[in-house]
Amino acid sequence: MTAQIIDGKALADELRQSFKARVEALAARGQRPGLVVILVGEDPASQVYVKNKVNGCLAIGMHSEKITYDAAVDQATVLKKIAELNADPAIHGILVQLPLPKHFDEEAVLEAIAADKDVDGFHAENVGALAQGNPRFIPCTPYGVMKMFEQGKVDLSGKEAVVIGRSNIVGKPMALLLINAGATVTVCNSRTKDLAGHTRRADILVAAVGKPKFVTADMVKPGAVVIDVGINRLPDGKLCGDVDFVGCREVAGQITPVPGGVGPMTITMLLANTIEAAERKAGIR
Ligand code: NAP
């Protein structure tokens, strides 16, 4: 069996087109959605991510700006800027690009963002709301994965789901979303014994490990839905996921590619969260 491909790029394009009308409806009410991205330091990967986020907003008529600081900036300066943005009615979403330089207390910075502008969904209040099954902002990557399940008509209720990875930005919120959707969820980490024993039971397998081609065909249950969150750069410069795509697509029922899978959905859901924030403020949601 060759798996059906869940095309994240096509779904992302379709969603972004559909957002334009919502943006214009908000603009007509004087609430054009606005996102500010704060970047500290010169990490090349972060610079690319931030550029893509700002351009993604501008392409669908949203307002967006980037605020950059030298890596040596003190935390108080960044917190002061966040306080200003929290009070700015033209800004609906604030995002601090991670990772921050070592002298920053990352948690304190994320907590400083007003919970109703926390479009990354990393604020403790929003994490709590998600855990309670009443999410306000869903972290963008797992939110994108849920949209892909919707697109692939994957019924999660009663399914065995296995998530490899327990990070705050992917693994944990992914697990919570799957629990909320009625799946039976196992979350694996680097200390998990007999990982393949778990993954082979999975109707839904989500890999968020950060290791190229980590999930091999023998770890996949025939017909499973395999979601590859990983983005790894190979020595030849090519991008590669956490799943051995060529091998696993012969076993899986549905699979996401890298590139062109979860990646394009992440920024799309950031746009969605910012639009949702503006809609809430305008009393539409
Ligand atoms: P992370 O914080 O490094 O977490 C990786 C997780 O994988 C950890 O929980 C770790 O376990 C687990 N792990 C490592 N080795 C393992 C093993 N041998 N067996 C089982 N579990 C193992 O990474 P992340 O931020 O979640 O990101 C994961 C991947 O997704 C990366 O490739 C990243 O680039 C990518 N990513 C993609 C997007 C996107 O838009 N597509 C967004 C975010 C991240 P421990 O907790 O025990 O260490």
What the chain holds in terms of domains, given with CATH numbers, is 30-125 (3.40.50.10860), 140-264 (3.40.50.720)
Is the distance from the beta carbon of residue 208 to the nearest atom of ligand 1 less than 6 Å? yes
Is the distance from the beta carbon of residue 264 to the nearest atom of ligand 1 less than 6 Å? no
Mean pLDDT of 32-48: 96
Residue 127: per-residue pLDDT: 98
Instruction: Tell me the whole-structure pTM to 2 decimals.
Output: 0.97
Q: Which of 129, 72, 118 is nearest to 91 (CA)?
A: 118
Percentage of the chain exceeding pLDDT 90: 98
Residue 285 confidence class, pLDDT cut points 50, 70, 90: confident
Summarised one tens digit per residue, pLDDT across range 61-119 is: 999 999 999 999 999 999 999 999 999 999 999 999 999 999 999 999 999 999 999 99
Query: Is 17 marked active-site?
Result: no
Mean pLDDT of 20-40: 97
Query: Is 153 marked active-site?
Result: no
Residue 1: per-residue pLDDT: 73
Q: Is the pLDDT of residue 143 over 90?
A: yes
Is the distance from the beta carbon of residue 230 to the nearest atom of ligand 1 less than 6 Å? yes
Q: What residue owns the CA closest to ligand 1's atom 36?
A: 230
Is the distance from the beta carbon of residue 262 to the nearest atom of ligand 1 less than 6 Å? yes
Determine the distance separating the centroid of ligand 1 and the alpha carbon of 207, expressed in angstroms: 8
Q: What residue owns the CA closest to ligand 1's atom 4?
A: 167
